[in-house]
Chain A
Amino acid sequence: MTLPLLDFAFAPYRLSGVVYGCLLNHRPALAALGEAVNAAPYKAAPKAPVLYVKPRNTLAGDGATVCVPADATELELGAALGLVIGRTACRVSEAQALSHVAGCTIVADISVPHASFYRPSVRLKARDGFCPIGPRVAPIAQPDAVAVRVWVDGALVHETTTGDRLRGAARLLADVSAFMTLAPGDVLMLGVSAGAPRVRAGQRAEIEMAGIGRLHMQFAAEEPRA
């Protein structure tokens, strides 16, 4: 499959187009749910990583315009570090996990805001263009200590790091690859931080990650029905 906007040059392969997200991996994000994790419908805190797929229709490159659907006033702009697989990762140990990572990129994990994590509709996360990625893949020695900043219309609205995760990059890759093999060019997100900013149509945003660069995007109202 061809993804011209995502055709970064990095060894040994281009991106495959397979992108997995990981929810509630940031400790404060899970803590924010409080006792609700033990109540219905969840009944217990998550044991395995809470994963989801960002399908190929969501993928976009640096500078993309993201459409805000007519029935949503705002979108949530999650800033996630993407671990780009460089070598097939199947049942890797935590100690070996990072040797399977070619580098890291910036993933804008965009959602229509929703309060329930029980069985959210894919329509909230899998809309066209809801996953800009870029601007490049860079080698990152410590993926669990990357400074993250998000600007909306030039104003700094969110400042966080990729640290304080339930599962750091190596542990996450070990636990995920225990049951699903990741191939070169696949991307596994480390999970967004609590307090992800909201954006509206007409705004522009940038996500910066230290050592990788800045991913730019703007938001526009969805085109009206024909």
Chain B
Amino acid sequence: MKTARVAFAGAIHTATPHAQGLQLADGRVLAEDQVVWLPPFELGTIIALGLNYADHVKELAKELTVTAKDEPLVFLKGPGSVVGHRGVTRRPQDAQFMHYECELAVIIGRTARRVKAADALAHVAGYTVCNDYAVRDYLENWYRPNLRVKNRDGGTVLGPWFVPAADVPDPHDLKLRTLVNGELKQQGHTGNMVNDIPALIEYLSEFMTLQAGDVILTGTPEGVVNVNAGDEVVCEIDGIGRLVNTLVADAPTGDTA
């Protein structure tokens, strides 16, 4: 059963899907826009993959200094960057190129240390959708991808649902896509990952113990384009969820002194 965490009427609730939107554990049925959607699970370490779809590697080839690597390109993110479904994300006013990245998020459910690929999926609790924004204007060649590009407040959108692994027969047979203001901009298939989920868990758990709540953002396929303030960005993975985010202008906050 899919579950969500939502804020409603002064409390945080677990919710499940309902024909009219969602249903709280106490039985109340609500429309999607009546609640505040939180990330659907309690987050631990956020592990993200760069260049994990062959088609996206090709798309970025002009600016890449490496084309093929044996080691997965991993970077880490902080929890402060996370917002839920139907959240808003600030777009820096001076940015020329800010893009979404639709990704399958893999949620660890059981401690994984030195796990072999063949056993890896037993450590997965479930899945959700992630939109892992990047502001490419700020890319620098020091500890790429630097946090000013990839770890901005509101830049990691997660949700809407936590989907238990048992409900996903094959996580490498899912279509994913991104729509901007209703227009299809990005399409891919999770079967095209360079390093698949078992390989990633084997690689990571060799040097870092994965714990329940850690999440692996498995990378994005080709088709990333600039998005602007006011745009509605929908990242969708069949069987997992439809994650909506809206960009807003990053107005100065005024003098805090």
Contacts and interface: CB of A to CB of B under 8 A. Distances in A.
Contacts of B140: 44, 46-48, 50
Interface stretch (B33-41, B144-152, B238-246): B144-152
Given A46-B140, A179-B148, A57 B208 contact: yes
B153 interface: yes
A18 B79 contact: yes
A122 B78 contact: no
B143 A181 contact: no
Interface string A22-50: 01100000000000000011111011101
A117 B143 contact: yes
Q: Which residue of A1, A43, A47, A122 has the most chain B CB atoms within 10 A of its CB atom?
A: A122
Interface in A46-93: 46-48, 50-53, 55-58, 69, 90-93
A119 B143 contact: yes
A126 B48 CA distance: 13
A47 B78 CA distance: 21
B141 A44 contact: yes
A96 B256 contact: yes
A56 B45 contact: yes
B208 A53 contact: no
Contact of A128 (B74, B148, B208): B208
A152 B123 CA distance: 39
Contacts of B142: 23-24, 42, 46, 50, 117-118
Contacts of B211: 56-57
A122 B213 CA distance: 19
Nearest to B151: A180
A43 B65 CA distance: 12
Interface string B78-108: 1111000000000000000000000000000
Contacts of A46: 140, 142
B143 A52 contact: yes
A127 B207 contact: yes
A122 B143 CA distance: 10
Contacts of A126: 76, 207-208
A120 B73 CA distance: 9
Contact of B65 (A41, A50, A93, A128): A41
Contacts of B47: 55, 122
Contacts of A117: 142-143
A183 interface: yes
Nearest to B92: A179
A127 B206 CA distance: 9
Interface in B169-223: 206-211, 213
**Which residue, of A18, A57, A120, has the highest number of chain B Cβ atoms within 10 A?**
A57
B257 A96 contact: yes
Nearest to A176: B147
Nearest to B77: A53
Nearest to A123: B207
A121 interface: yes
A91 B73 CA distance: 30
B109 to A, nearest CB: 15
Interface in B111-164: 113-114, 138, 140-144, 146-148, 151-153
28 contacts: A1-B44, A18-B78, A20-B147, A24-B142, A46-B140, A48-B140, A48-B148, A51-B148, A52-B143, A53-B151, A56-B211, A57-B209, A91-B256, A93-B256, A95-B257, A96-B257, A118-B144, A119-B73, A122-B76, A123-B206, A126-B76, A127-B208, A128-B113, A179-B152, A180-B78, A181-B80, A182-B80, A183-B80
Interface of A: 1, 18, 20, 23-24, 40-44, 46-48, 50-53, 55-58, 69, 90-93, 95-96, 117-123, 126-128, 179-183, 186, 225-226
What 7 pairs across the A-B complex have the smallest Cβ distances? A53-B76, A55-B45, A51-B147, A119-B144, A50-B142, A46-B142, A48-B148
